[in-house]
Structure 1
Amino acid sequence: MAQRETWATRVGFILAAIGSAVGLGNLWQFPFKTATNGGAAFVVFYLAAVLLIGFPAMLSEFVLGRRTKRNAIDAFGRLGSGPWRIAGALAVVTGFWILSYYNVVGGWVLRYIVGSINGAYFANPGEYFAAVSAGPGAVLAQAVFLAIVVGIVALGIEDGIEKATKVMVPSIVILMVALAIWVATLPGSGEGYAFFLSPDLSTMIENAGTIIPFAVGQAFFTLSLGMAIMITYSSYVGRDDNLILDGGSVVITNTLVGILAGLVVFPILLTIGAGADITTDTGGAGALFVATAAGFGSVPFGRLFGVVFFGVVFIAALSSAISLLEVTVSYANDNYDVPRPMLSIAIGIALFLLGVPSAWDTAWLTWFDNIAYQALLPLSVLLTVLFVGWVIGRESVEELLSGAEGYATFGTVWLWTIRLVVVGGVLLTLALGINELFLVEDAAFFAPF
């Protein structure tokens, strides 16, 4: 069996973790989840979820990975009894499930880069999205995007993932700042800022039961939690690294990029986006594409800004997709004597096949996404924090404080936050999500059938 790889540098790990978090979750999911769940009211719940649930849960995954130096399934098995391996398996399956339709959206991004160059979507953005988002062309674009992801992961941790993210993450931040500055100069951008940054208290109260599952799910999605990514990435980390500071760096950077995404997207959606109604179909999976495309078609140098914007989205999508694929490859690499390139290709083929329904019809993509947000992610995170907080308990604090001398009080507070606040918050989120998915009238689970 091949020797297990490690990160070449601590910065490499941090950037890879940030790259996983700063992906389509921020630039695709965040805008359309915000648009369809109360605007700024959603943002408030999301930020609270990141602070109170997301950050402590991330540290839990860091602890599991570094303590065992193994993939998610084996990490649970080594620290707990055999049945706990099911929790690791669920996390791996969740990541695999999400990547199957994530690749489809990555394919859309590739086609929008081409559409920006030749101006193909300027005349009728809605029609262009309908043409590229489903059918044989979308299946082919999905395959191209997935092939790029497989190629990077096949190169390994240091030569593939670490080198790629060292270029991609700074590029995302720099280009997003530049786009935010440009958008601020556009007439009427204040309307978009108001929608994004001015919460309506009545909306928060009246729709809390609907908003909370999506807000917490968004926190999990954008921080790459519940998918075994952070367990996998931290398994390549040395015991001298300060996991608390590393986790804080990831959370802060990810949140800032999410806010930047909102500052870029919502002024475009609500002003120059050709009057797009972001609370209906364009507020769903196509919001980022339909309305921003309309906006770029109505401003000077629209093709150039379109290429830059969708180029950023592509980099972000790629950085997250390679982390999701690494989860499954890591498990196979730890347990089977098969070269990494062959594993990457085989798993890539399986992902392609699972993603075909989402590529063929966006209704299936929405179905896959709803199951991930409302059931798989919260259940996976719940099992992880229960295991870390109540099964391994003080041992998890010991691991967290390795390389973080002087944080003893933080460790104790963190453990009880995991045991009470995080477990309680995720249980509530899971209950609300299951209700929306299965029990209400027109439940999301049954929509495509």
Structure 2
Amino acid sequence: MVERETWATRVGFLVAAIGSAVGLGNLWQFPFKTAANGGAAFVVFYLIAVVLIGFPAMLAEFVIGRRTNRNVVDAFDELGGPGWRILGGLALLTGFWVLSYYNVVGGWVMRYVLGSATGAYFGDPGGYFNAIASGPEAIAAQLLFLGISVGIVALGIENGIEKATKVMVPAIVVLMIALAVWAFTLDGAMEGVSYFLSPDIDSLVSNAGAVVPDAVGQAFFTLSLGMGIMITYASYLGEDDNLPLDGGIIVVSNTLIGVLAGLVVFPLLFANNVDPATGGPAALFVAVASAFANLPAGQILGVVFFGVVALAALSSAISLLEVTVSYATDNFDVSRPVLSVSAGVLLFLLGLPSTLDTGDAGGPSVWFGWFDAMAYNLFLPLSALFIVVFVGWLLAREAVSELRTGSESIPSFGPIWLWSLRTVVLVGIVVTLGLGFQSLFLAEDATFFAPF
């Protein structure tokens, strides 16, 4: 078996974990989940979900990974016995499933970088998206994006993922700050800021039942939880790392970049009279592209914006791919490059339905929405639920002991964290899973049956 790698530095781990979290969940979904759920009211619930549910759940994954220094499947085997391997397999499957259609979105982003440079979508942003969202062009773009991800992961932890994310993440932050500063100079920008950051108390109360599940789901998606990523990344850590501190840095950084994304997108939309509630997978591409099409320097700004989104997408894609490659390198005497390419081939095949041509109207395949709904409403919360139960009850004291290692200065934190897993986090995930199950299988327009 190939010798297991580790992070070269603690900063390398933090940047890679932040890069995983700061992906399309922040730059693609967060602004438009906000718009679809009433603006600032959603932001409030999302921030609460991140602190009370996302942060403790992330520490649960850290504990499993560092305790075992194993991949996501073997980690559960070591801690709970062979019967628990199925839980690690579920997390691995969830990440693989998400990445299969995530690559399709990554391909869209790369097409929009090119489309911004040439001004190809300026005349008809909606028509341009429909033309490239499915069919041969979508397949080719998906393959290109996937190939870059495979190449980075094939180079390894230190020489591939760590070096790549050390460039990507700072570039994302610097460019997003620059775009936010520029967006504030646009006429009408402050209306967008108010929509994004000024919650209506009545809206908070009246829409809580509908908004909370989306907010919790978004917290898990943007923090890369339930997919084995944080277990895998933590498995390359040493015992001297302070897990609560590292988790806090990752959560705060991820949240700030999500807010930055909103401070770019909403001022841009309001300044150009574009409806912020434009929904669906086309939202980022059609709505934001429409705004760039109306600006004097739209080509340059479009390249910068979609370039940032491309970097964010890649930083998350390589983390999702690493979960599978980590498992394979721990269990098969095959080189990392060969395993990375093999995983890439399987991902390409699984992602093909999400690129299927939908006919004359074009646009995303109905299968794309199906894959996304299955991940968001079932696989992610189900995987997270089992992980929380495993750590909160089966490991319990062992988990608290592991959390304290490297963070002895805060001895009272461990019991509080364990209590939160068993109560607040558990209830939040169960409610989210129940509502997601209803949406998939029991609602009048049940999502699960849409493609059939």
Give the counterpart of 2:405 among 402, 406, 415: 402
Deviation at 1:127, TM superposition (A): 0.7
Q: Is the counterpart of residue 339 in structure 1 residue 335 in structure 2? A: yes
Alignment of 1:264-279 (within 5 A): 264-272=264-272, 275-279=273-277
Question: In the alignment, which residue of structure 2 is the partner of 1:113?
Answer: 113
**C-alpha distance in 2 between matches for 1:74 and 1:186:** 52
1:180-329 to 2 correspondences below 5 Å: 180-272=180-272, 275-279=273-277, 282-329=278-325
Indicate the residue corresponding to 1:68 in structure 2.
68
**1:191 Cα deviation from its structure 2 partner:** 2.1
TM-aligned CA distance change 1:364 to 1:270, over 3 Å: farther
- Distance (whole Å) between structure 2 residues aligned to residue 90 and residue 269 of structure 1: 39
Give the whole-Å Cα distance in 1 for the aligned partners of 2:274 and 2:375: 27
> In the alignment, which residue of structure 2 is the partner of 1:330?
326
Q: Classify 1:209/1:444 alpha carbon distance in 2 versus 1 (closer, same or farther; 3 Å).
A: farther
CA drift at 1:446: 2.0
Share of identical aligned residues, percent? 66
User: SS at 1:199's partner residue?
Assistant: coil
CA distance in 1, matches of 2:130, 2:203: 31
Please list the CA deviations of residues 271-322 of structure 1 after superposition, one character each: whole Å capped at 9, or x if unmatched.
31xx44443xx41111111111111111121111111000000000000000
State how many pairs are aligned.
445
Amino acid at match of 1:335: N
Report whether the alignment pairs 1:446 with 2:442: no
Range 49-58 or range 196-205, more displaced = 196-205
The question of whether the paired residues in 2 share the 8 Å contact of 1:183 and 1:264 is answered with yes
> Contact 1:209 / 1:432 at 8 angstroms: preserved in 2?
no
Instruction: Provide the rounded CA distance (Å) in 2 between the counterparts of 1:347 and 1:423.
Output: 33
Q: Give the Å deviation of 1:195.
A: 2.0
Partner of 2:428: 425
TM-score, reference length from structure 2? 0.96
Tell me how far 1:200 sits from its aligned partner.
3.0
Q: Structure 2: which amino acid aligns with 1:61? A: E
Unaligned runs of 5+ in 2: 359-363
Aligned to 2:361: none
CA drift of 1:29 comes to 1.2
Residues 104 and 354, structure 2, Cα contact 8 Å, conserved in 1? yes
Q: Take 1:32 and 1:98, find their aligned partners in 2: how far apart are those partners?
A: 19
Structure 2 distance, partners of 1:210, 1:442, is 17
Aligned alpha-carbon RMSD (Å): 1.2
Deviation digits for residues 223-275 of structure 1 (CA, Å, limit 9, x no counterpart): 00000000000000000111111111100000000000011111223331xx4
User: Offset of 1:324 from its aligned partner?
Assistant: 0.2
Structure 1 unaligned segments of length 5 or more: list them.
none
Q: Distance in 2 between matches of 1:156 and 1:210?
A: 42
What residue number does 1:86 align with?
86
Aligned position for 1:4: 4
Counterpart CA distance in 2 for 1:440 and 1:24 is: 28
Counterpart among 350, 358, 362 of residue 354 in structure 1 = 350
CA distance in 1: counterparts of 2:440 and 2:200, whole angstroms: 26
1:55 corresponds in structure 2 to 55
What is the Cα deviation at residue 416 of structure 1?
A: 0.7
Q: Does 1:373 align with 2:369?
A: no
**Secondary structure at the counterpart of residue 283 of structure 1:** coil
**Counterpart of 1:422 in structure 2: which amino acid?**
V
Tell whether the 8 Å contact from 2:274 to 2:291 is kept in structure 1 after alignment: no
**Contact 1:107–1:142, Cα closer than 8 Å, also in 2:** yes
Q: Say whether the 8 Å CA contact 2:67–2:235 is kept in structure 1.
A: yes
Using the size of structure 1 for normalisation, the TM-score is: 0.97
Cross-structure match for 1:134: 134
Q: Does 1:158 align with 2:154?
A: no
Alpha-carbon distance, 1:341 to partner: 0.5
Given that 1:401 and 1:408 are in contact with CA atoms closer than 8 Å, whether structure 2 keeps it comes out as yes
Q: Is the 8 A contact 1:92 1:228 kept in 2?
A: yes
Give, in angstroms, the shift of residue 203 of structure 1.
3.4
Aligned to 1:171: 171
Tell me how far apart the structure 2 counterparts of residues 97 and 14 of structure 1 sit (CA, whole Å).
Answer: 25
> What is the distance in 1 between the residues matched to 2:234 and 2:19?
14
Kept in 1: contact 2:26–2:261 (CA 8 A): yes
CA deviation vs aligned residue, 1:113-154 (integer Å, no higher than 9, x gap):
101111111111111111111111001100000000000000
- Secondary structure of 2:244's counterpart equals helix
In 1: Cα distance, 2:370 partner to 2:264 partner: 27
Deviates more, 1:256-265 or 1:292-301: 292-301
Distance in 2 (alpha carbons) for counterparts of 1:299 and 1:270: 13
Alignment partners' CA distance in 2, 1:352 and 1:372: 17
Question: Aligned equivalents of 1:91 and 1:161: distance in 2?
Answer: 20
User: What is the letter of the counterpart of residue 333 of structure 2?
Assistant: D
Distance 2:46 2:371 in 1: 21
Contact persistence 1:113–1:310 (CA under 8 A): yes
Q: Say if 2:172 and 2:308, in contact at 8 Å, map to a contact too.
A: yes
Local SS of the residue matching 1:385: helix
The answer on whether the counterparts of 2:266 and 2:276 sit within 8 Å (CA) in structure 1 is: no
Write the distance in 1 (CA, Å) between the matches of 2:119 and 2:373: 32
Rate the CA distance shift 1:266–1:447 in 2: closer, same or farther, 3 A. Answer: farther
Structure 1 segments of 4 or more deviating over 4 A? none
Query: In the alignment, is the contact (CA less than 8 A) between 1:39 and 1:195 conserved in 2?
Result: yes
